[in-house]
Structure 1
Amino acid sequence: MGLSIVRERLCSEAHQTALRRFVCCDGGPEWAMDAQRYIRDINIRRHADDSEIMLLVVAGASEYTDRVLGFCEYGVAAETTDDEPGFYQISYIATALETRGKHMGDLLRAAVLDRLCDDAFRTGRTPFVVTQIDPRNKPSAALFRRFGFADEGEDPEDPGYGLFRFSCV
């Protein structure tokens, strides 16, 4: 069995099946289940917006026995214009319960930041990456801080969530 990172807008039917079985939460508070519900319900074959999906996949004996160990949705949130700086956004990131403590979140985050910073360099987009984090999600906040994201406090556009910002430069 091998480990691979799948980066694409539209993943395969086999990956869709693996996402339906994805487990990143084992209960707990209601807010903690939000990412798992979102990931299991997403239809990656009909994902209409411009966001991209990165999966960390362990290959099984056949394509339908692959397991998703990590999930990340990201993309351009606002284009850079002459009047406004644009930015990228990481919408969701989650790792499977079975991978806790193995730094899979670090691996996904590093791969996504490399991709976004490279895109900013190649396209001339503003090199800022933002994410929103529920303040009760301490592990996620710690993960983003480890990668140099600055805690900007409560998101003025979406009160109740913390806003974290990273600059590729």
Structure 2
Amino acid sequence: MSETTAPVTLSITPGKALALRWAGFIALLAAAVMIIAGGTVWGVVTSQLRAEKITVSEDAAFLGGADVAGPFSAFAQADIISTHAKNMTDGKTYAELDKDDPKRATVMNASFLRTSLFTSVVSYGVSAFVIGVGILFGIIGWVILTIAPRRRAAVATVPVTPAE
């Protein structure tokens, strides 16, 4: 048996249409700001890493010999710094070394370098997230502007067919 239903109509007043259009414009503006901000931070982090002229150690698990100028190369260099520091101390971390151990200062510097590189990796991740959310806001804003009736219409009727 098949049932037929009449389409439902929604009336959108001029005020609601205006509010919808404003929401669409605001979403598009937010999208632009987020995409530009995320891209700018990505570029600044990349330029700062390049300025340090760091090269991933040849014995790294991946990207050996590459310039540190992105999230993957920064991660690879941080990882190999950890390996080198643990090899130097027979697997001990900075906190596990005796206070008078001569290797303690070197391991401390390695820890600081790793932290700095991981901070850049996190910055890349946040930048990518902001760009992604900006793209999502842009799509939502465009959809809102596409479906919102023009302000000039006194009352717009939008047919809605219920899903079966």
Alignment TM-score, normalising by the size of structure 1? 0.19
Q: In terms of Rg, which structure is larger?
A: 2
Greater helix content:
2
Greater strand content:
1
Alignment TM-score, normalising by the size of structure 2? 0.19
